[in-house]
A and B are shown apart, each in its own frame.
Chain A
């Protein structure tokens, strides 16, 4: 009786919705697999590759994936490419919340290493995005031992956090753009001294 009461084609609607849902799930799974596996030398997948794997609506699928990954503490992050186009944009998975200092240390980063990187990024950003390596080393020398500066700067160039060109100019690397909230870093560094003073003043 109830079947005869429904208009013709109503039975096919839930089936279509289920198929659409299944397709979305399949594409989300595919997007996760594509993002988690490192393919080339650098992590992440470019926009044009994503389009090839997921179709032209890849951005919507990545949004869904990013929401699905929230409970796991991950997110899909996009880094604009040098051309500023969708195709050159790099998509990657990253931690939604920053790790603690102790967690960073267990990942193989010493406090001194992180301090060198923080100072370098802040200094490069304050100098219009470029500084000569000599000038950088001369500044860091006041705070860190010489061998630590050489070792850390070379290591961060290799890992993509900073770039060095043929004129020995240091610039911000693609990895910093992907992993670090630069504006927050600058603000936090500027706030550090005042925070300590405020805390000590209250005590």
Chain B
């Protein structure tokens, strides 16, 4: 068994060599690193040494990919030599230093001195004119263009109050008062003079009901009939009924309905 484990480890190490070689070649291709940093001869010898040991198709494919990457590096080396031999070759470090030292105006001036802008004319052709005409003719007025997707967006967004909801017969005042009284009584019953978990209390059978119960509890707390307390360590929120007659002063509270 230990011999098998050693053999596996050796195979993993060889596969890792190939993967590292592929990664190295990719890095050289995607940067301006000198391609001669890759020792092609040495890498080919590594591939040659490992090749007879591969018997899994996936690993063989990796091996051929590594070979392909080496070919790409040889191609880059060819370009590198051609570029160095060309008149455009200037030591990059020297050039970087120069660019850093000279002013923006001097750079722009150098550019302008060897710039020959292209002379051309943008001309409206009869075909282009016809296309423009057809487009304009078939263009739907702006007010109706997105009506299907977004409805009538002519009205600005705004807020809707309880009075308006009542006028639209969506929510009646009696219904709201009845629900508020019911939830207050439920709180009194469940808490029995002690603190209870707020999230557990407002939880309904679905998210809509939970939101509605949280909304109503906010009114109960605002009226001074109940109070909320957050444990700073656990961040658990507790709700309890206020003892005695509520004071006249209303207060604003932030509610959590999650």
Contact = CB atoms under 8 A, between A and B. Distances in A.
A192 B106 contact: yes
Contacts of B116: 75, 77, 94-98, 179-181
Contacts, number: 158
Dominant secondary structure at the B interface: helix
Interface in B79-110: 79-80, 83-84, 87-92, 94-96, 98-102, 104-110
Contacts of B115: 98-99, 104, 179-180
Interface stretch (A19-27, A48-56, A118-126): A118-126
Interface residues of A, number: 62
B112 interface: yes
Interface in A168-194: 168-169, 175, 178-186, 188-190, 192-193
Given A126-B90, A180-B114, A186 B107 contact: no
Nearest to B82: A128
Given A111-B108, A186-B90, A119 B99 contact: yes
A18 interface: no
A107 interface: yes
A118 to B, nearest CB: 4
Contacts of B104: 111-112, 115, 143-144
List the 5 closest A-B pairs by CB distance, nearest first.
Answer: A118-B111, A127-B32, A115-B107, A114-B108, A188-B110
B31 interface: yes
Given A135-B31, A135-B32, A180-B114, A128 B121 contact: no
Contacts of A96: 116
Contact of B30 (A38, A94, A98, A168): A168
Interface in A8-67: 36-38, 43-44
Interface in A104-146: 104, 107, 111-112, 114-115, 117-119, 121-123, 125-132, 135, 139, 142-144
Contacts of A104: 108, 112, 115
28 contacts: A36-B119, A36-B120, A36-B121, A37-B123, A38-B120, A38-B123, A43-B118, A97-B116, A98-B113, A114-B108, A114-B112, A117-B111, A121-B111, A127-B32, A128-B80, A128-B83, A139-B99, A180-B115, A180-B116, A181-B114, A182-B88, A182-B114, A186-B90, A188-B110, A188-B113, A189-B98, A192-B98, A193-B101
Interface residues of B, number: 42
Nearest to A73: B119
A118 B30 contact: no
B130 to A, nearest CB: 17
A37 B224 CA distance: 80
A19 B185 CA distance: 111
A74 B100 CA distance: 34
Interface of A: 36-38, 43-44, 74-75, 77, 92-101, 104, 107, 111-112, 114-115, 117-119, 121-123, 125-132, 135, 139, 142-144, 167-169, 175, 178-186, 188-190, 192-193, 196
